[in-house]
């Protein structure tokens, strides 16, 4: 599903091919990629902490702990996790109403839920996400990342960051705005041009470094990382959330924990699919669920706000050449070093440089090809792409994916429901109905309308050679049809049903004709007979 996306942004952005994990050059690339990611994590973690209504260090600690644990044990090398806006916008009301200690307890419970999902291997259901939903996901997320960067174009101290963009505050104007835009453009130009000259240094790191040096040397007055908040701090300390262990507490935190766990896993598993195509690996969904859950559980006990996979930082990592777990591990450790030792230096980095990096991520993430194919793909697919993109921007990723999957499933069911039809052959004493198309809950009513019980001859044959019985509704429809013909005193024969259908329908006394060429498939659900009807069984 993600191959087309990889082909679209991989080569165009100069993403290197996977290298030898024992090659010193590759190890250097991994470390430099980690440094680049760590620099990009700082303003994101601080901004999302503001969104959630907690101290900046709460976001930074989450980025460090979640990033480190998922890098070590996650389902995909090269994937970056940390504090995200999708989670922060859910947390803000909990913090506002009950305080940060309840947030820590919620993050612990959120992690436990994610661990259970991983152990139960429910992460595999991410494969049910259709390609149009994936396109809408990356488009919506690209727009969200873009909108989130606009807050950096406001005067420091006046910006109110929201989940999908910027709130109130005074915009930069005049020379300050032009200078900011020029530095953003310079950073983007360096990232675009440098891979054509050399790949020794990751282009995003070079862009940040060169822009920062110019700002420091010439004393250019632009917003810096330190203008957002100080990132100076110590090691995260173990802390049991100070909440009463009561049923009332569980009632407060459980709904938030379930929502956060769902959002975190959906974003993580979709990102896992994208990164998986780049690093050439498959699977790992259940492992990623467990790793995300363990990371959030630990984070909750160390004063962090929790997190999940970050597609923007993950794309920065793979764009910079990161393919091994070393890049994610080094990113987390570099971030910790920034907090402990290098805060004054990191706070001197201009926000324009980091905005330029994220703008390049936006360009690389957005599925530009989806704009060209909107008129070529089926109308429902085009609608799903636009719908998921819009819902992602307006609400959140989890809601967008669920809506997209539901719409796609309903459209698929309707399309198959309209395919049911019958070809008929009539003789003096019999009539044959050759059923075409799948028989399931969506087509059961249309199936019943194919037959003319009153005017049919004494003997009727229903041939399912070109059909397939899929579920209980289909079996019930066959039972009902047979009952109608029996009530009319006419004989009905059912041909070319699977052995499974033979067994299930014979329980109800239906007449099924055995053939050597009967198909061999199982009905999706087993059934038992209750009071002459087919009922759900286990």
Cβ–Cβ under 8 Å, residues 163 and 85: yes
| Separation between Cα atoms, residue 408 and residue 50, nearest integer Å | 36
Nearest of 96, 76, 80 to residue 88 by alpha carbon: 96
How would residue 534 be classed by pLDDT, with cut points 50, 70 and 90?
very low
How would residue 428 be classed by pLDDT, with cut points 50, 70 and 90?
confident
Side-chain-side CA neighbours of 360 within 13 Å: the count stands at 33
The dihedral through the CA atoms of 32, 37, 38, 42 has a sign that is positive
Per-domain boundaries in the chain: 3-10+28-368, 418-536
Three-class DSSP category at 368? coil
Planar angle of CA 312, 203, 273, nearest 5 degrees: 35
Cβ–Cβ under 8 Å, residues 263 and 398: yes
| Separation between Cα atoms, residue 160 and residue 38, nearest integer Å | 23
| Separation between Cα atoms, residue 304 and residue 125, nearest integer Å | 29
| Separation between Cα atoms, residue 468 and residue 474, nearest integer Å | 9
| Separation between Cα atoms, residue 275 and residue 318, nearest integer Å | 8
More confident residue, 19 or 446: 446
Q: What token pair was written down for 308?
A: 């999940």
Cβ–Cβ under 8 Å, residues 94 and 331: no
Cβ–Cβ under 8 Å, residues 206 and 186: no
Cβ–Cβ under 8 Å, residues 161 and 167: yes
DSSP letter at 124 equals G
- Average pLDDT for 383-396: 90
- Average pLDDT for 383-405: 89
Most confidently modeled of 190-199, 275-284, 332-341, 441-450? 332-341
Cβ–Cβ under 8 Å, residues 56 and 45: yes
Most confidently modeled of 70-79, 108-117, 444-453? 108-117
pLDDT at 409 over 80: yes
Strands 430-439 and 459-469: parallel
The dihedral through the CA atoms of 215, 221, 225, 231 has a sign that is positive
More confident residue, 146 or 536: 146
Cβ–Cβ under 8 Å, residues 468 and 497: no
Place of tokens 């910079």: 320
Cα–Cα separations (whole angstroms), residue 514 to 34, 357, 511: 65, 67, 10
- Average pLDDT for 171-183: 93
Three-class DSSP category at 101? helix
Give the pLDDT of residue 515: 60
Give the pLDDT of residue 315: 87
Query: CB under 8 Å, gap of 24 or more: what pairs does 374-381 form?
Result: 377/132, 380/407, 380/408, 380/411, 381/130, 381/132
DSSP assignment string, 284-349: -HHHHHHHHHHHHHHHHTTT----EE-HHHHHHHHHTT--SHHHHHHHHHHHHHHHHT-HHHHTTS
Q: What token pair was written down for 538?
A: 């286990």
Most confidently modeled of 120-129, 196-205, 377-386, 468-477? 377-386
529: which strand partners?
534
Q: What token pair was written down for 144?
A: 């969200």
pLDDT at 535 over 80: no
Three-class DSSP category at 491? strand
Task: Give the phi and the psi of residue 84 in degrees, each rounded to 5.
Answer: -130, 155
How would residue 465 be classed by pLDDT, with cut points 50, 70 and 90?
confident
How would residue 156 be classed by pLDDT, with cut points 50, 70 and 90?
low
What string of H, E and C letters represents the secondary structure of 34-92?
HHHHHHHHHHHHHHHHHHHCCCHHHHHHHHHHHHHHHHHHCCCCCCCEECCHHHHHHHH
Mean pLDDT computed over every residue of the chain: 84
Topology of 418-536 in CATH?
Transcription Regulator spoIIAA (3.30.750)
How would residue 396 be classed by pLDDT, with cut points 50, 70 and 90?
confident
Give the pLDDT of residue 48: 83
E-state strands within 81-219? 81-82
Give the pLDDT of residue 387: 95
| Separation between Cα atoms, residue 153 and residue 330, nearest integer Å | 30
Place of tokens 């679209």: 8
What would the pLDDT profile of 481-515 be if each residue is shown by its tens digit? Answer: 888 998 898 888 888 887 777 666 654 445 566 66
| Separation between Cα atoms, residue 404 and residue 402, nearest integer Å | 5
Q: What token pair was written down for 268?
A: 């993580």
């Amino acid at each position: 599903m993600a191959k087309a996306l990889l082909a679209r942004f991989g080569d165009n952005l100069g993403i290197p091919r996977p290298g030898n994990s024992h090659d010193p050059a590759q190890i250097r690339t991994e470390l430099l990629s980690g440094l680049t990611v760590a620099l990009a994590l700082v303003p994101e973690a601080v901004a999302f902490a503001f969104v959630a209504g907690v101290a900046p260090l709460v976001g930074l600690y989450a980025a460090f702990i979640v990033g480190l644990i998922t890098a070590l044990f996650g389902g995909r090398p090269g994937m970056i996790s940390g504090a995200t806006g999708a989670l922060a916008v859910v947390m803000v009301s909990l913090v506002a109403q009950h305080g940060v200690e309840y947030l820590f307890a919620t993050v612990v419970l959120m992690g436990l839920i994610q661990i259970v999902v991983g152990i139960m291997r429910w992460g595999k259901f991410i494969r049910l996400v259709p390609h149009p939903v994936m396109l809408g996901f990356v488009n919506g997320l690209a727009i969200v990342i873009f909108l989130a960067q606009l807050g950096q174009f406001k005067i420091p101290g006046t910006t109110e960051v929201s989940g999908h963009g910027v709130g109130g505050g005074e915009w930069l104007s005049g020379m300050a705005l032009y200078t900011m835009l020029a530095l953003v453009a310079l950073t983007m130009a360096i990232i675009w041009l440098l891979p054509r000259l050399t790949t020794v240094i990751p282009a995003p790191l070079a862009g940040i470094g060169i822009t920062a040096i110019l700002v420091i040397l010439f004393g250019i007055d632009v917003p810096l990382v330190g203008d957002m908040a100080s990132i100076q701090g110590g090691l995260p300390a173990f802390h049991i959330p100070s909440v009463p262990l009561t049923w009332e507490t569980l009632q407060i935190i459980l709904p938030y924990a379930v929502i956060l766990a769902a959002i975190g896993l959906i974003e993580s598993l979709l990102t896992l699919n994208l990164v998986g195509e780049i690093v050439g690996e498959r699977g790992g969904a259940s492992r990623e669920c467990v790793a995300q859950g363990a990371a959030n559980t630990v984070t909750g006990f160390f004063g962090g706000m929790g997190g999940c996979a970050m597609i923007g930082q993950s794309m920065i990592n793979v764009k910079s050449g990161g393919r091994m777990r070393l890049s994610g591990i080094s990113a987390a450790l570099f971030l910790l070093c920034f907090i402990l030792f290098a805060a004054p230096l990191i706070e001197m980095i201009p926000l324009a440089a980091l905005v330029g990096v994220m703008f390049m991520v936006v360009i690389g993430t957005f599925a530009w090809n989806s704009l060209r194919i909107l008129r070529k793909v089926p109308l429902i697919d085009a609608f799903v792409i636009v719908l998921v993109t819009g819902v992602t921007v307006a609400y959140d990723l989890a809601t967008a994916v669920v809506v997209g999957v539901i719409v796609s499933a309903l459209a698929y069911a309707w399309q198959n429901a309209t395919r049911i039809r019958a070809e008929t052959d009539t003789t003096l004493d019999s009539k044959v109905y050759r059923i075409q198309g799948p028989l399931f809950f969506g087509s059961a009513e249309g199936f019943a309308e194919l037959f003319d019980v009153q005017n049919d001859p004494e003997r009727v044959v229903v041939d399912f050679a070109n059909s397939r019985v899929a579920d209980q509704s289909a079996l019930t429809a066959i039972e009902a049809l047979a009952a109608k013909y029996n009530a009319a005193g006419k004989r009905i024969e059912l041909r070319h049903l699977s052995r499974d259908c033979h067994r299930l329908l014979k329980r109800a006394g239906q007449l099924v004709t055995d053939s050597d060429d009967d198909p061999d498939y199982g009905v999706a659900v087993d059934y038992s007979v209750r009071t002459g009807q087919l009922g759900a069984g286990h």
